[in-house]
Amino acid sequence: MPGQKSTAEAMLAYSHSMSVELPTADIPPRIDAIRKACISSVHGACNLLNVDQTSTGGSITVRIVPEGVQPLAEMAGAGGKVSSRTTSAEDISDAVHETQRDRDQLEAYAKRLDDIAARKDLSVTDLIAVSKEQAAVAEKRRILDNAAADQHHRLDTNLLRISFNDPHARASRREFGDIGPVMVDSALDGTADALAALAEGLPYLIIAFPLAWLWWLAWRKVTRRWRK
């Protein structure tokens, strides 16, 4: 998975994702090794964005220079199975041009404010108003500068997300987790069958009970005579 470098004409922000199958015990140390390689900039400038670990897997997300994507991908897949990998690009040229246009307009407005502030015939009230407007322009300039820096950072680096999982542990966990629903379904089916059987036999019980009672009275009367 080689990294991709955007051109000045295309202005594409590249991102990569890959999934690696590893034994559960090997996943935490592998994520930690990638994390250390990123924060120490072993393969070039790198920013650690996210680390996530679960009982059967985990993931790590970094933003790194294009030259560092391949080494980190090789580190992630060593001794494991790469089950998927994708590379995508987002065209941010419109956003870049819009930010630059806003900056140019803001600079032109700031120059006009500076010219007004330099006038000798400006009243104190007008000077205060201009000063407030200059402060607002400075804040807008800071916001636009940050936006431009973020856009250029996306163009100069690649986003890389690596996911790890143990398919065997996940399958065992899924099979064990299915026991509960199966038991509930079996209990519900058994209860439904029992209620159905009781409903079918209820009329017979209603008829049989008085007959049995009459038979018992007759038998008691006969046995009493026999004893006498």
Are 166 and 220 in a shared domain?
A: no
Over residues 48-95, the pLDDT tens digits come to 999 999 988 999 999 999 999 999 999 999 999 999 999 999 999 999
In the structure encoding, which two tokens stand for residue 40, read together? 């120490």
Are 61 and 167 in a shared domain?
A: yes
182 falls within a domain: no
pLDDT for the residue 205: 55
Residue with more model confidence, 169 or 226: 169
7 falls within a domain: no
Are 29 and 67 in a shared domain?
A: yes
181 falls within a domain: no
38 falls within a domain: yes
Residue with more model confidence, 184 or 153: 153
pLDDT for the residue 142: 97
Q: Report residue 45: phi and psi, to 5°.
A: -55, 130
102 falls within a domain: yes
User: How large a percentage of the chain has pLDDT more than 90?
Assistant: 68
Are 165 and 191 in a shared domain?
A: no
2 falls within a domain: no
pLDDT for the residue 56: 87
pLDDT for the residue 176: 45
Over residues 6-27, the pLDDT tens digits come to 887 889 999 999 999 999 999 9
Domain that holds residue 199: 187-227
How many structural domains compose the chain? Answer: 3
Are 160 and 62 in a shared domain?
A: yes
| Averaged pLDDT for residues 119-132 | 93
Are 105 and 131 in a shared domain?
A: yes
Is pLDDT at 218 greater than 80 in this prediction? no
Are 114 and 217 in a shared domain?
A: no
163 falls within a domain: yes
Task: Supply the mean pLDDT for the chain.
Answer: 86
Are 64 and 120 in a shared domain?
A: no
Are 114 and 208 in a shared domain?
A: no
85 falls within a domain: yes
pLDDT for the residue 8: 78
Are 115 and 84 in a shared domain?
A: no
Least confident of 130-134, 180-184, 208-212, 215-219: 180-184
Q: What is the pTM of this model?
A: 0.68
Are 59 and 133 in a shared domain?
A: no
Are 195 and 145 in a shared domain?
A: no
